[in-house]
Protein backbone atom coordinates (compact mmCIF):
# COMPACT_ATOMS: atom_id res chain seq x y z
CA UNK A 1 0.00 0.00 0.00
CA UNK A 2 1.16 3.53 -0.69
CA UNK A 3 0.41 6.53 1.53
CA UNK A 4 0.76 10.11 0.38
CA UNK A 5 1.31 13.09 2.68
CA UNK A 6 2.47 10.81 5.52
CA UNK A 7 3.55 12.75 8.58
CA UNK A 8 6.11 10.13 9.64
CA UNK A 9 9.04 8.32 8.02
CA UNK A 10 9.14 4.53 7.51
CA UNK A 11 11.42 4.10 10.53
CA UNK A 12 9.00 5.98 12.79
CA UNK A 13 6.06 3.90 11.54
CA UNK A 14 7.85 0.63 12.30
CA UNK A 15 9.03 2.00 15.66
CA UNK A 16 5.44 2.80 16.63
CA UNK A 17 4.21 -0.66 15.57
CA UNK A 18 7.02 -2.51 17.36
CA UNK A 19 6.51 -0.40 20.48
CA UNK A 20 2.86 -1.49 20.51
CA UNK A 21 1.57 -3.72 17.69
CA UNK A 22 -1.97 -2.95 18.86
CA UNK A 23 -1.56 0.46 17.24
CA UNK A 24 -2.07 -1.32 13.94
CA UNK A 25 -4.19 -4.24 15.08
CA UNK A 26 -7.91 -3.71 14.55
CA UNK A 27 -9.31 -4.32 18.03
CA UNK A 28 -12.56 -5.74 16.63
CA UNK A 29 -10.54 -8.49 14.89
CA UNK A 30 -7.29 -8.92 16.79
CA UNK A 31 -5.11 -7.77 19.65
CA UNK A 32 -1.52 -8.60 20.54
CA UNK A 33 -0.72 -9.79 24.06
CA UNK A 34 2.96 -10.20 24.93
CA UNK A 35 3.41 -13.48 26.81
CA UNK A 36 7.21 -13.79 26.77
CA UNK A 37 9.75 -10.99 26.82
CA UNK A 38 10.42 -7.84 28.77
CA UNK A 39 8.58 -4.57 28.90
CA UNK A 40 9.12 -2.15 26.08
CA UNK A 41 9.30 -2.47 22.33
CA UNK A 42 9.22 -5.76 20.46
CA UNK A 43 12.52 -7.68 20.46
CA UNK A 44 13.75 -10.86 18.79
CA UNK A 45 12.46 -13.95 20.65
CA UNK A 46 9.56 -12.08 22.27
CA UNK A 47 6.35 -14.07 22.02
CA UNK A 48 2.81 -12.80 21.57
CA UNK A 49 -0.60 -14.36 21.40
CA UNK A 50 -2.72 -12.71 18.75
CA UNK A 51 -6.21 -12.80 20.29
CA UNK A 52 -9.07 -13.04 17.80
CA UNK A 53 -12.80 -13.77 18.09
CA UNK A 54 -13.63 -17.46 17.97
CA UNK A 55 -11.04 -20.22 17.99
CA UNK A 56 -8.48 -18.12 16.10
CA UNK A 57 -5.95 -17.13 18.81
CA UNK A 58 -2.48 -17.52 17.36
CA UNK A 59 0.86 -17.61 19.16
CA UNK A 60 3.80 -16.00 17.35
CA UNK A 61 7.50 -15.39 18.00
CA UNK A 62 9.47 -12.34 16.85
CA UNK A 63 12.21 -13.40 14.41
CA UNK A 64 13.48 -9.99 13.31
CA UNK A 65 13.13 -6.35 14.28
CA UNK A 66 14.87 -3.71 12.17
CA UNK A 67 14.44 0.00 11.48
CA UNK A 68 12.08 -0.64 8.56
CA UNK A 69 10.63 -4.09 9.22
CA UNK A 70 9.73 -6.81 11.66
CA UNK A 71 8.97 -10.50 11.12
CA UNK A 72 6.91 -12.98 13.12
CA UNK A 73 6.79 -16.79 12.97
CA UNK A 74 3.79 -18.84 13.98
CA UNK A 75 4.10 -21.27 16.88
CA UNK A 76 2.37 -24.56 17.61
CA UNK A 77 -1.46 -24.30 17.81
CA UNK A 78 -1.54 -21.32 15.40
CA UNK A 79 -4.03 -21.80 12.53
CA UNK A 80 -1.17 -21.33 10.10
CA UNK A 81 2.41 -22.51 9.94
CA UNK A 82 4.66 -19.83 8.50
CA UNK A 83 5.97 -16.32 8.79
CA UNK A 84 4.67 -12.81 8.28
CA UNK A 85 6.69 -9.66 7.67
CA UNK A 86 5.63 -6.04 8.09
CA UNK A 87 7.84 -3.50 6.34
CA UNK A 88 7.89 0.14 5.35
CA UNK A 89 9.89 2.22 2.90
CA UNK A 90 9.69 5.51 1.10
CA UNK A 91 9.83 6.19 -2.59
CA UNK A 92 8.27 9.65 -2.67
CA UNK A 93 5.35 8.16 -0.75
CA UNK A 94 5.33 6.01 2.36
CA UNK A 95 4.97 2.37 1.33
CA UNK A 96 3.85 -0.40 3.68
CA UNK A 97 3.70 -4.16 3.11
CA UNK A 98 2.40 -7.14 5.01
CA UNK A 99 3.86 -10.26 3.43
CA UNK A 100 2.94 -13.73 4.60
CA UNK A 101 4.41 -17.16 3.80
CA UNK A 102 2.16 -19.81 5.28
CA UNK A 103 0.35 -23.11 5.05
CA UNK A 104 -2.50 -24.42 7.15
CA UNK A 105 -1.37 -25.46 10.62
CA UNK A 106 -3.58 -28.56 10.66
CA UNK A 107 -6.48 -30.26 8.82
CA UNK A 108 -9.18 -28.22 10.56
CA UNK A 109 -7.40 -24.96 9.67
CA UNK A 110 -7.11 -26.12 6.08
CA UNK A 111 -10.83 -26.88 5.99
CA UNK A 112 -11.75 -23.49 7.49
CA UNK A 113 -9.35 -21.59 5.20
CA UNK A 114 -9.26 -23.38 1.87
CA UNK A 115 -12.58 -25.22 1.73
CA UNK A 116 -15.12 -23.21 3.73
CA UNK A 117 -13.18 -19.94 3.18
CA UNK A 118 -14.31 -18.73 6.64
CA UNK A 119 -10.80 -18.17 8.02
CA UNK A 120 -9.73 -16.57 4.74
CA UNK A 121 -12.52 -13.97 5.03
CA UNK A 122 -11.62 -13.22 8.66
CA UNK A 123 -7.97 -12.84 7.63
CA UNK A 124 -8.83 -10.56 4.69
CA UNK A 125 -10.87 -8.24 6.89
CA UNK A 126 -8.21 -8.25 9.60
CA UNK A 127 -5.34 -7.28 7.24
CA UNK A 128 -7.46 -4.69 5.44
CA UNK A 129 -8.34 -3.12 8.78
CA UNK A 130 -4.66 -3.28 9.86
CA UNK A 131 -3.64 -1.41 6.70
CA UNK A 132 -6.33 1.22 7.27
CA UNK A 133 -5.04 1.77 10.81
CA UNK A 134 -1.49 2.13 9.47
CA UNK A 135 -2.77 4.91 7.19
CA UNK A 136 -4.29 6.66 10.22
CA UNK A 137 -1.10 6.14 12.22
CA UNK A 138 0.95 7.74 9.42
CA UNK A 139 -1.20 10.88 9.29
CA UNK A 140 -1.46 10.52 5.51
CA UNK A 141 -4.01 9.27 3.00
CA UNK A 142 -4.09 6.15 0.86
CA UNK A 143 -2.67 6.56 -2.61
CA UNK A 144 -4.15 4.07 -5.06
CA UNK A 145 -5.70 0.72 -4.26
CA UNK A 146 -5.24 -1.25 -1.10
CA UNK A 147 -3.83 -4.65 -2.07
CA UNK A 148 -3.64 -7.74 0.11
CA UNK A 149 -1.65 -10.77 -1.07
CA UNK A 150 -1.11 -13.87 1.03
CA UNK A 151 1.24 -16.54 -0.23
CA UNK A 152 0.35 -20.03 0.92
CA UNK A 153 2.64 -23.04 0.72
CA UNK A 154 1.05 -26.40 -0.03
CA UNK A 155 1.28 -29.02 2.65
CA UNK A 156 3.86 -30.99 0.65
CA UNK A 157 6.46 -28.24 1.07
pLDDT at residue 107, as a whole number = 61
Q: How is domain 2-151 classified at the architecture level of CATH?
A: 2-Layer Sandwich (3.30)
How would you class 72 by CB atoms within 10 Å of its CB: exposed for 0-12, middle for 13-18, buried for 19 or more? buried
Mean pLDDT computed over every residue of the chain: 84
pLDDT at residue 17, as a whole number = 98
Rounded to the nearest 10°, the torsion over CA 11, 17, 18, 23 is 160
Share of the chain above pLDDT 70, in %: 76
Judge whether residue 76 has pLDDT over 90: no
- pLDDT confidence tier of residue 150, bands split at 50, 70 and 90: low
Judge whether residue 118 has pLDDT over 90: no
Instruction: Name the range with the highest mean pLDDT among 27-31, 53-57, 59-63.
Output: 59-63
Amino acid sequence: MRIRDAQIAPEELIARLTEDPNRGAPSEFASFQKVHGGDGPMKVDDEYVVRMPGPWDGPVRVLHVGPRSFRLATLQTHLEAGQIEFRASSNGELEFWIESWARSGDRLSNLLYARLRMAKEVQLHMWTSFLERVIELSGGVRSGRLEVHTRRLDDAA
